Amino acid sequence: MEGVISHVVFTVKNSRYDLQRIKRKKSVGLISPTFPFFENEQEDLIIKILCDVASELGLNIKAFNFCGDHVHTIVVSDNPDISKKIGLWKGKSAYLYNVQSQSRNPVKITQNLWAKSYYQKTITSKNEQEKQISYINNNRKKHGLAPLSKMSANIVHALIQDKDE
């Protein structure tokens, strides 16, 4: 295996997953009864931005999937502490999403696109890595979602292939 391999998951702020995390900790105020969920053009825009920023930051992504309100990815790094890179990835992608979605719809702007925390699990074997990649690749099906659009699938494929070469 080539460096530290991690399964990383992060969620949209105030998503159903973020709410579960908040409930386990102390209350932070009013949570909307409906949860943000991105589909169609918004989903394509978020995926493009996430992949562009991952490339710009030099993240070595082995698997990636966006499921409307959360991201699953496998990240390979020389440093086991990837918190700064994940923070930059989330921060820059949120900023770019806000700028680009505002230019398309001047009334709507999403503050704090991503929840503060994220999940990271270190993968310690090739077998476990293969299982996690399969899990990520099948995550949309698990949630009953349609496959990614052709455009988004091509963008994700290019991100992963670029790092494999």
The torsion region of residue 104 among left (phi > 0), alpha (psi -120 to 50) and beta comes to: alpha
Q: What is the pLDDT of residue 109?
A: 52
Q: Report which residue type is found at 96.
A: L
Query: Which residue in the block uniquely carries the two structure tokens 């993240």?
Result: 59
In degrees, rounded to 5, the angle at the alpha carbon of residue 75 between the alpha carbons of residues 141 and 53 is: 90
**pLDDT tens across the length of the chain (165 residues):** 578 999 999 988 876 555 555 455 554 444 444 456 788 999 999 999 999 999 999 999 999 999 989 999 999 999 889 999 999 999 999 999 988 887 766 555 556 799 888 999 999 999 999 999 999 999 999 989 999 999 999 999 999 986 554
pTM of the predicted protein model = 0.84
Neighbours of 5 (CB within 10 A): 21
Q: How many Å apart are CA 80 and CA 73, to the nearest integer?
A: 15
Q: What is the pLDDT of residue 134?
A: 97
Asked if 3 and 76 count as a contact pair (C-beta separation under 8 A), the reply is yes
Nearest one of 97, 78, 76, 84 to 13, comparing CA atoms: 97
Q: Where are the domains of the chain?
A: 4-164
Q: What is the largest CA-CA distance in the chain?
A: 48
Q: What is the pLDDT of residue 28?
A: 47
Which residues share a beta bridge with 72?
9, 65
Q: What is the pLDDT of residue 73?
A: 98
* Structure tokens, 118: 């994220």
Q: What is the pLDDT of residue 104?
A: 66
Output phi, psi for 7, to 5 deg. Answer: -90, 120
* Structure tokens, 51: 């992949």
CATH fold of 4-164 reads: Alpha-Beta Plaits (3.30.70)
